[in-house]
Amino acid sequence: MKRIDAVIRREQFGKVKLALEAISCPGMMVFTFRGHGKQGGLTETYRGRKFKVDLLPKVLLTIFANDGDVKKVTDAISKAAKTGEIGDGKIFVASCENAIRIRTGEEGAVAI
């Protein structure tokens, strides 16, 4: 099993969600937050004055998937979230030792 964490632009979330539904993604957790990566934020102008917005709105998706489904999930996220501009986001994949379904006590891949 793997844990897939994807940091994406807030405005791309709808497209990513549809792409994940299209591949029958088993489920996801969604968190909204503010942050920045290499771009360090944006410089904007308001009423003739420039100011820096260094924490941008982002969405964090967390998905647990079987090893064989990781490529399908990461490809769907990448294609749907890509705008070609800096700040499109990142996907992180990490191993997950176990999952336990509380209701039934099932463990491992069947608990996903």
What digits encode the pLDDT tens for the residues 2-44?
Answer: 999 999 999 999 999 999 999 999 899 999 999 887 776 666 7
pLDDT, position 51 = 72
Q: CATH number, domain at 48? A: 3.30.70.120
- Are 37 and 87 in contact by the 8 Å Cβ rule? The answer is yes
Domain count within the chain: 1
CA distances from 62 to 20, 51, 52, 85 (A): 12, 32, 29, 23
What digits encode the pLDDT tens for the residues 42-86?
Answer: 667 777 887 777 788 999 999 999 999 999 999 999 999 999 998
Q: What is the pTM of this model?
A: 0.86
User: Can you give the residue range of the structural domain that contains 96?
Assistant: 2-111
Phi and psi torsions of 12, nearest 5°:
-95, -5
Tokens 């994807």 identify what position?
A: 6
CA distances from 17 to 23, 26, 51, 74, 94 (A): 10, 12, 33, 12, 21
Written as six digits, the tokens of 112 are 């996903």
